[in-house]
Amino acid sequence: MALRINDTIPDLTVETDRGPLRLHDWADGAWTVIFSHPKDFTPVCTTEFGAVARLKDEWARRGVKVLGVSVDGVEDHVRWKEDIKLAGSAEPDFPIAADRDLAVSKAFDMLPAEAVLPEGRTPADTATVRTVYIIGPDRKVRLSMTYPMTVGRNFSEIVRAIDALQTAAKGVATPADWQPGDDVIIPVAVKDDEARAKFGDFQTVLPYLRKTKMPA
């Protein structure tokens, strides 16, 4: 069954290039990003992991932990990180899970439950495994994205989405194309007098669309 928004992530223990990691312990109390890819030593995946590595300071600024996932082994991950560093001009200092038994891929609905790894597999054999989950401090799924094999992910958008999720946790919503510092939306359920008490002045665009400054 697919993981949906507000579902608690499975409590799995996974092997990584940095040793065993229990997901519930690792994710507890922190914003986390779990992202998967079809195969080590492939071009699009290498550029993606380089992008994640270059965003190290942005993850830290937001208190975000990052975990990569693929069905390759730990030894492959260790060797591949050298290529990521070379191509991405940044040290990939986050763990990568070795999901050889497909436990993570299936539990997170990155692959069908009946999927198996063929001998001599190619990236196409795990083409559905280019997924991103953003997990809240309560270990619940807050956002998920799935991309086809041929389209590299925009990790700047994932950072923006985390900003929006962390802002929304303050009791507001964010409009289309929102960036930090832009006005936010007051939820429809909040009455005008409550909105003034909580946010101060606000702009009424439509009866159901009210904007205000981003709360501190």
- Those residues whose C-beta lies under 8 Å from the C-beta of residue 216, and which sit 6 or more positions away, are none
User: Of 33, 45, 107, 184, which is the active-site residue?
Assistant: 45
Residue 214 has pLDDT above 80, yes or no: yes
pLDDT tens per residue, range 148-201: 888 999 999 999 999 999 999 999 999 999 999 999 999 999 999 999 999 999
For residue 12, name the pLDDT band (cuts at 50, 70, 90): very high
The DSSP H or E segment spanning 40 is none
Annotated active-site residue 73? The verdict is no
State the residue for tokens 């009210």: 210
Q: Give strand pairing partners of 66.
A: 33
- Domains, the chain, ordered by start: 13-153 (3.40.30.10), 170-216 (3.30.1020.10)
What are the pLDDT digits (tens) for 44-93? 999 999 999 999 999 999 999 999 998 899 999 999 999 999 999 999 99
Compute the distance between CA of residue 127 and CA of residue 166 in angstroms, rounded to an integer. Answer: 31
Note the pTM of the prediction, 2 decimals. 0.91
Rounded to a whole number of angstroms, the distance between the first and last alpha carbons of the chain is 38
pLDDT at 143: 97
Do 60 and 25 form a contact (C-beta atoms < 8 A)?
no
